[in-house]
Amino acid sequence: MSFPWANDYKPTNPLMQWVDQRLPLPRFVYNAVGAGYPVPRNLNYMWNFGILAGFALVLQIVTGVVLAMHYAANDKVAFDSVEHIMRDVNWGWMLRYAHANGASMFFIVVYTHIFRGFFYSSYKAPREMIWLLGVVIFLLMMATAFMGYVLPWGQMSFWGAKVITGLFSAIPLVGPPLQEWLLGGFAPDNAALNRFFSLHFLLPFVILGVIILHVWALHIPGSSNPTGVEVKQESDTVPFHPYYTAKDGFGLGIFLMLYCALVFFAPNLLGHPDNYIPANPLSTPAHIVPEWYFWPFYAILRAFTSDFMFIPAKLMGVLAMFSAILVWFFLPWLDTSPVRSGHYRPMFRKFFYLLVVDVLVLGYCGGAPAAEPFVMISQIASMYYFLHFLVILPIVSSIETPQPLPFSITEAVLGKDESATLSPATPAIA
């Protein structure tokens, strides 16, 4: 679907005409990210992060495929093969640092993208499917990143794999055999390393497939926008190209500068020193911590320290950690306010900022040692996390009085226009 005023693809180049008649791929691209896709004219820079996430994925695939040409997935040599890449492969150090920091940048961008969705309620009808697919992408990303971190076969790789697969052993009855089945052994070993490598290579392409669905679903209703008011007329939109390609180009420049500053000047800033120690099953690190992007969820996992109504604390932690993400699937039905944008929802906005602080606190506690006061802080913060999504959002959306919305996107950008006065009876909340 597209708006009736969308530009039609009319190639002038005879070669493109020839291709278009036989395989309308150029037309497809033109309608997806070219001048054929009308986009609200008022998108702010928070709308850059979808493209940036796609760019980060391509970056990871390109660097990853080349790294895989030099890496050896065998527990005897994996660690040394990574050092071989760092020392003897031409530009290998750059590829590896680009890939490791690329994962961090990917998560920074995706977290921003997700929180953009929270603030502007991008998950609301008719865009629920985009949101659901997005959560699937995030889950796949987490699995991919986790398995990628195991590949260098350092201390944190090994112990991280042991802890995370150990989560499955908390499941009643089938847990321990399930963990053995996942690992191909009783502890992370060559079998685990090999299957993690195989899946780490496969999953990014699965992510790519789901991204195509995500973007496809996006093109049905079209992009949302900071006012949350739907597109009503042609003056509300601009063609994606050149307007948003230009804006995304600038955003990409900023992204690349931050990324390259990390890669070239602080490549190990976000990593853990222990992963430069070869994996040793007989020596447990003092503090086992995952990569920074898992810290909020790790804090939720560790917040459950007491058994609760016959449910072991470990199982509670695992249930809560997975629920912390699964709850996002239900967001479109938990937040029932007819107004989308946080700009017009004063009460919602306060809780949104509280959630941002809450997740940052959870992240800090997840990276800290499992000791007081961090455990108690993460218990309070986890409590708010669940209450926010499951209790506060439904209540806020029913009791809040939203501020008046602009009549149209054009009005929001240019002030009251003449066409708006023609329909004074239109209610503020469409």
Partner 1 sequence: MVRLFGPLVGLFFAVALLWSFGNGAYNAVTQPTPPTAEALFHMHPKEVKFSFDSAFGTFDKAQLQRGFKVYQEVCSNCHSLKQVAFRDLGQLGYKEAEVKAIAKNWGNKAQTFDPKTGDRGERANLPSDHFPPVYYAGQGVPPDLSLIAKARHGGAQYIHSLLTGYTDQVGYKNEAGEELLKKFPDAKTPDGLYFNPYFANLNLAMPAPLASDGQVTYSDGTQATVDQMAMDVSAFLTWTAEPKLDKRKQTGWPVLGFLLAATVLAYLAKRNVWADKH
In the complex, minimum distance from the CB of residue 32 to partner 1, in angstroms, rounded to a whole number:
19
Residue 376 engages partner 1 in binding (rule: CB under 8 A): yes
Residue 277 engages partner 1 in binding (rule: CB under 8 A): yes
> Among residues 70, 84, 219, 314, which one is catalytic?
219
Among 207, 192, 182, 195, residue whose Cα is nearest residue 107? 207
Do the beta carbons of residue 59 and residue 204 sit within 8 Å? Answer: no
Active site annotation includes 162:
no
**CA–CA separation, 131 and 271 (whole Å):** 30
What is the footprint of partner 1 within residues 24-43 (CB under 8 A)? 41
Q: Pick the stretch among 54-62, 86-94, 126-134, 420-428 that binds partner 1 (CB under 8 A).
A: 86-94
Taking residues 296 to 335 in sequence order and writing x for each that binds partner 1 by CB under 8 A, - otherwise, the string is: -------xxxx-xx-x-x--x---x--x---x--x--xx-
**CA–CA separation, 401 and 339 (whole Å):** 10
Residue 125 engages partner 1 in binding (rule: CB under 8 A): no
The amino acid occupying position 424 is P
In the complex, minimum distance from the CB of residue 373 to partner 1, in angstroms, rounded to a whole number:
9
Q: Which two tokens stand for residue 255?
A: 């992204």
Active site annotation includes 230:
no
What is the residue-wise DSSP string for 155-193? HHHHHHHHHHHHHHTTSTTTHHHHHHHHHTSSSS-HHHH
The amino acid occupying position 6 is A
**CA–CA separation, 401 and 423 (whole Å):** 23
Residue 399 engages partner 1 in binding (rule: CB under 8 A): no
What size, in residues, is the chain?
430
What is the footprint of partner 1 within residues 234-253 (CB under 8 A)? 238, 242-243, 246-247, 249-250, 252-253
Among 149, 179, 181, residue whose Cα is nearest residue 167? 179
Among 427, 377, 421, residue whose Cα is nearest residue 404? 427
In the complex, minimum distance from the CB of residue 306 to partner 1, in angstroms, rounded to a whole number:
4
Q: Which two tokens stand for residue 326?
A: 């699964």
Active site annotation includes 219:
yes
Q: Is 102 helix (H, G, I), strand (E, B) or coil?
A: helix
In the complex, minimum distance from the CB of residue 238 to partner 1, in angstroms, rounded to a whole number:
6
In the complex, minimum distance from the CB of residue 175 to partner 1, in angstroms, rounded to a whole number:
19
**Residues classed as catalytic:** 219, 223, 247-248, 291
Q: Which residues bind partner 1 (CB under 8 A)?
A: 41, 80, 83, 86-87, 93-94, 97, 238, 242-243, 246-247, 249-250, 252-254, 256-257, 260-261, 263-265, 267-268, 273-274, 276-277, 286, 303-306, 308-309, 311, 313, 316, 320, 323, 327, 330, 333-334, 336, 371-372, 375-376, 379-380, 382-383, 386-387, 389-391, 394, 413
